[in-house]
């Protein structure tokens, strides 16, 4: 292996004058000096150096081959995934309006539905939007807690902790529902009932955070007495309405089903957002300078956009079969709801930081503990309602199969 080296270039000092040994090993000599070119033509590097270079190249070659084989190894390590099927190959219960393909077949083992997280089907975007949002909420809160040295046992932090818990709960329940509901008809009902429980928990967790951290004094003086009990009732009513609509109505769904879902959830939203909406309106009328108020504004706007896509099957209604995997309305609903939650999180963290004196003036430990205990009472009531309706669904399916 011969090479050329310009005099004075980096590394040139390693090669000596003609007749002198090169390097500490004394192996290899200069053979001739280029005439007028300024280049030195040198002998091969020492044998030990050549061996080391070849070994390094061999290692790089092996590493490159392993990297090229990595996708194949991952594919072989996963169970063989059944292909998705058209709507005609799944029961009526699993079909969505204007979505013609991308359905997962029913009746397979649980691991298939878990691993379908990495498969292309018409629910995968719904799963990933809320999975990534849950991770974002968790990481953002963890960074905030570390930076602020959050007092975990303090009563002042309890509503914030319950809001974080409720956010992660609803996002997790949602992604599990969309990931696992295709296993069977009973699984379909079960996981969507779990999803509705998560929604009710999130609604009340939001109400707690808005009440304790975000409300202004004028709103608080008017509504403090009955706001949380009403929010808890609306949260349960939202869960009960969604579960009943799922149990009562079958595809193709009538308009009444959407009414049973949207009206209770809409009432819960109007009530839960009222402390924030009042504060945001006053802030903007006064030439808003609060950063938290702008995040609350984004929270409201993103929720309204998400509610539209939840209620209306667009754009798939106008492009049937073209939005099966990516782009149908429920996916857009999921994306905007995730952004809404992240905007809400930023606003509440800012309120927690900047409104500590207001919190201490208004709320004693007893009122905070009572409100936080009601959170778990609501979760238990919602779960019991979902369990009752699941039992009714199971009886109905058993009679149908017999």
Q: In CATH, what number is assigned to the domain containing residue 148? A: 1.20.1070
Question: Per-residue pLDDT tens for 281-335?
Answer: 999 898 888 999 999 999 999 999 999 999 999 999 999 999 999 999 999 999 9
The reply to whether 263 falls in a domain is yes
Distance of alpha carbon 268 from alpha carbon 272, whole angstroms = 6
The reply to whether 92 falls in a domain is yes
CA dihedral 349, 355, 357, 362 (to 10 degrees): -100
The reply to whether 4 falls in a domain is no
The reply to whether 246 falls in a domain is yes
Distances (CA, A) of 105 to 16, 113, 118, 320: 74, 10, 16, 21
Task: Please say if the pLDDT value at position 31 is more than 50.
Answer: no
Distance of alpha carbon 198 from alpha carbon 46, whole angstroms = 70
The reply to whether 261 falls in a domain is yes
Question: Which pLDDT belongs to residue 315?
Answer: 97
Structural contact between residues 342 and 133, judged by C-beta atoms closer than 8 angstroms? yes
Question: Which pLDDT belongs to residue 23?
Answer: 44
Percent of the chain with pLDDT over 70: 81
Average pLDDT of the segment spanning 31-58 = 56
Task: Please say if the pLDDT value at position 193 is more than 90.
Answer: yes
Model pTM above 0.85: no
Q: In whole angstroms, what separates CA 202 from the centre of its chain?
A: 15
Other C-beta atoms lying within 10 Å of the C-beta of residue 166: 26
Other C-beta atoms lying within 10 Å of the C-beta of residue 99: 22
Distance of alpha carbon 181 from alpha carbon 110, whole angstroms = 10
Task: Please say if the pLDDT value at position 42 is more than 70.
Answer: no
The reply to whether 230 falls in a domain is yes
The reply to whether 42 falls in a domain is no
Question: Per-residue pLDDT tens for 328-376?
Answer: 999 999 999 999 999 999 999 999 999 999 999 999 999 999 999 999 9
Does 47 or 365 have the greater pLDDT score?
Answer: 365
Domain holding 201, by residue range, is 87-401
Which residue intervals of 312-402 are DSSP H helices?
A: 329-354, 356-362, 365-401
User: What is the total count of domains within the chain?
Assistant: 1
Picking from 223-232, 247-256, 258-267, 314-323, which range would have the lowest pLDDT averaged per residue?
247-256
The reply to whether 167 falls in a domain is yes
Average pLDDT of the segment spanning 143-158 = 94
Structural contact between residues 295 and 350, judged by C-beta atoms closer than 8 angstroms? yes
Question: Which pLDDT belongs to residue 55?
Answer: 66
Residue 367: HSE in the Cβ half-sphere, 13 Å Cα cutoff: 15
Question: Which pLDDT belongs to residue 9?
Answer: 45
Question: Which pLDDT belongs to residue 253?
Answer: 83
């Amino acid at each position: 292996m011969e090479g050329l080296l310009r005099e004075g270039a980096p590394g040139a000092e390693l090669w000596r004058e003609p007749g002198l040994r090169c390097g500490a090993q004394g192996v290899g000599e200069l053979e001739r000096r280029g005439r007028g070119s300024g280049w030195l033509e040198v002998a091969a590097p020492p044998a030990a150096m050549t061996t080391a270079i070849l070994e390094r190249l061999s290692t790089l070659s092996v590493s490159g081959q392993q990297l090229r084989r990595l996708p194949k190894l991952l594919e072989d390590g996963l169970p063989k995934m059944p292909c998705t099927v058209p709507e005609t190959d799944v029961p009526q219960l699993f079909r969505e309006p204007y979505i013609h393909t991308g359905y997962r077949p029913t009746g397979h083992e649980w691991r298939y539905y878990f691993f379908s997280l990495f498969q292309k089907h018409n629910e995968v975007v719904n799963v990933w939007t809320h999975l990534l949002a849950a991770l974002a909420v968790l990481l953002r809160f963890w960074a905030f807690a570390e930076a602020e040295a959050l007092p975990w046992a303090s009563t002042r932090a309890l509503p914030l902790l319950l809001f974080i818990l409720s956010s992660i709960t609803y996002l997790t329940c949602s992604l599990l529902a969309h990931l696992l509901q295709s296993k069977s008809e009973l699984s379909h009902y079960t996981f969507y009932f779990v999803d509705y429980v998560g929604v009710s928990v999130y609604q009340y967790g939001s109400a707690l955070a808005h009440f304790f951290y975000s409300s202004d004094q004028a709103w608080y003086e008017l509504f403090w007495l009955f706001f949380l009990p009403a929010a808890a009732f609306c949260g349960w009513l939202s869960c009960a309405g969604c579960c009943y609509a799922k149990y009562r109505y079958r595809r193709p769904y009538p308009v009444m089903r959407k009414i049973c879902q949207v009206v209770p959830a809409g009432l819960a939203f109007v009530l839960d957002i009222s402390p924030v909406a009042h504060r945001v309106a006053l802030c903007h009328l006064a030439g808003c300078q609060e950063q938290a108020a702008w995040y609350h504004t984004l929270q409201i706007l993103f929720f309204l956009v998400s509610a539209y896509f939840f209620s209306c099957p667009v754009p798939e209604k106008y492009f049937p079969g073209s939005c099966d995997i990516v782009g149908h309305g429920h996916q857009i609903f999921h994306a905007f709801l995730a952004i809404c939650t992240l905007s809400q999180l930023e606003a509440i963290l800012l309120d927690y930081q900047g409104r500590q004196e207001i919190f201490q003036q208004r709320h004693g430990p007893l009122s905070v503990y009572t409100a936080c205990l009601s959170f778990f009472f609501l979760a238990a009531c919602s779960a019991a309602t979902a369990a009752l309706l699941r039992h009714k669904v199971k009886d109905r399916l058993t009679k149908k199969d017999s």
